[in-house]
Amino acid sequence: MSLSLPAAVVLSFLLLVPQAASSFKADPPMVCGSCDAWNAPHEPFRIFGNTWYVGMAGVSSVLITSDAGHILLDGGLTQSAPAIDAHIRQLGFRTEDVRLIGASHEHYDHVGGLAALQRFTGAPVAMSPIGLRALAQGLPTDDDPQIGFGRAVNAFPRVANLRAAGDGAPLHVGPLAITAHHTPGHTPGAVTWTWRSCEGTHCADIVYVDSLNPIAAPGFRFSGDGARPSQVEAFRRSLDTVAALPCDIVIAVHPQAADLDGKLKRRAAKPAVDPFVDANGCRAYADGIRTRLEARVAEEVR
Ligand SMILES: [Zn+2]
């Protein structure tokens, strides 16, 4: 068969020019002091079994895969979302096969990319009911410790197609099951997610732990101040929850908070025990935050 010239030209063009990997449409980039560092590039990699790191250098995103569709956790900044899409493809998966998106906490550096990822995949975004209120309005709720920094700092693209994730109730995608643990503290709607991944007969309990960092805008008191009740008891319960989780592998929403790159580097040396597997990881994480929280509360009562 002979091709007319235009057809041959078109065919060679199709064969020689790499196809656009994706028609992903991001929201406008966010501007902030840490945004460039958070959004610095990071290679995607397999954490364990069907669990993959697809996030950036300073804000995490995790993909859990199955033949019946995938679960994605967090979307980073608005400008992280196209990279997350590219990372998923780089690993050989299709972002369009994401069936459920979970969110950790309602701050722009973790949920900024969710609106675009939601539009592209059509997947619902799951979170605690308080977190969903924030996602729907594109702004944390009034009791958020950082809301005092102002609307311009705190706003993010509003997210549609929301699904409530009950405390301790698993959500399913095909054979996948993921459980939300409500861990208020850093934000009122914060969620820590858990699931189980296997490599053959070897299975690991994986925890995607929220920030739990007692950071607040000037004037905010975790211990309450007449205008607002104390949030300390709920915060302490969240730390107890995290410390008690079945936890073989812990990934933090800011990856360095659980030493993601240190573990990755040590793993490259192929040690007998995978550095990502640490039965004490969640307890150590919670203990570290507890020290900071109690120091912060002690300052507040002075
Ligand atoms: Zn935050």
What's this model's pTM, rounded to 2 decimal places?
0.92
pLDDT of residue 11: 46
Q: How large is the average pLDDT for residues 233-249?
A: 98
**Domain limits, the chain:** 26-300
pLDDT at 21 over 50: yes
Q: How many angstroms separate the alpha carbon of residue 168 from the centre of ligand 1? A: 22
Strand partners, 111: 76
d(CA 194, CA 90): 25
CA of 156 to the centre of ligand 1 (A): 12
Can you say how many angstroms the Cα of residue 282 is from the centroid of all Cα atoms in its chain? 16
Average pLDDT, the chain: 93
What's the 78 CA to ligand 1 centre distance in angstroms? 15
Distance 87 CA to ligand 1 centre (A): 23
CA atoms within a 13 Å half-sphere pointing along the CA-CB vector of 1? 3
Into which CATH architecture does domain 26-300 fall?
Answer: 4-Layer Sandwich (3.60)
- Give the ranges where the chain is alpha helix by DSSP (H): 5-16, 35-38, 81-90, 108-111, 114-121, 129-137, 151-154, 232-244, 260-268, 281-300
Residue range 239-250: mean pLDDT, rounded: 98
Give percent of the chain above pLDDT 70.
Answer: 93
296: left (phi over 0), alpha (psi -120 to 50) or beta: alpha
pLDDT digits (tens, 9 = 90+) for 26-61: 999 999 999 999 999 999 999 999 999 999 999 999
- The token pair at 139 is 């702004």
With CA atoms as reference, report the closest residue to 243 among 302, 278, 283.
283
80, pLDDT greater than 70: yes
Q: How confident is the model at residue 6 (pLDDT cuts 50, 70, 90)?
A: low
- For 221-230, give one letter per residue: b (16+ CB within 10 A) or e: bbbeeeeeee
pLDDT in tens, 265-296: 999 999 999 999 999 999 999 999 999 999 99
How far away, in angstroms, is 92 Cα from ligand 1 center? 30
Please report the pLDDT score of residue 26 as a whole number: 96
What pLDDT, on a 0 to 100 scale, did the predictor assign at position 8? 45
- 171 CA from centroid of ligand 1 (Å): 24
Phi first, then psi, for residue 29 (nearest 5°) are -65, 145
| Residue given tokens 């091709």 in the structure block | 3
- Tell me the backbone φ, ψ of residue 72, rounded to 5 degrees: -115, 135
> How confident is the model over 70-90, as a mean pLDDT?
98
> Could you read off the pLDDT of 209-227 as tens digits, one per residue?
999 999 999 999 999 988 8
